[in-house]
Amino acid sequence: MNSYLLTLVLKSETEEKERKTLLDSVVKKLIGEDGKVEKEDLWGAKTLSYPIKRQTKGYFAHFEISADPKDAKAIDKTLKTEENILRYLLIRR
């Protein structure tokens, strides 16, 4: 198991219910069966320094996760294809 930090920037206009579902699905895919979420911080909507995909505001979420390295590599494709995710950063601690 490795420790990871995952920060997501979502479209701010995404509804609360849809946002929660998206975050839960992304985290569950990342941690797999054996992993766990150590910390979850929802920073909320903030103004972006520059427009990203024509968006000037984004909803920030940060997670500290323990996961298998195989699961972490597989999540990259999912994060890139999700249209409500503007940016993400996944780093190993």
Residue type, 30: L
Q: In the predicted model, what is the mean pLDDT of the chain?
A: 90
Q: How high is the pLDDT of residue 40?
A: 93
- Residue 27: alpha-carbon gap to chain centroid: 7
Q: Give the model's pLDDT for residue 52.
A: 94
Fold of 2-87: Alpha-Beta Plaits (3.30.70)
Give the mean model confidence (pLDDT) for residues 65-79. 81
Contacts 24+ apart (CB under 8 A), 10-18: 10/58, 10/59, 10/60, 10/61, 10/84, 10/85, 10/86, 11/55, 11/58, 11/59, 11/84, 11/86, 12/45, 12/55, 12/57, 12/58, 12/59, 14/59, 14/84, 18/84
Binned at pLDDT 50, 70 and 90, residue 63 comes out as very high
pLDDT at 69 over 90: no
pLDDT of amino acid 67: 85
**Which sequence spans correspond to the domains of the chain?**
2-87
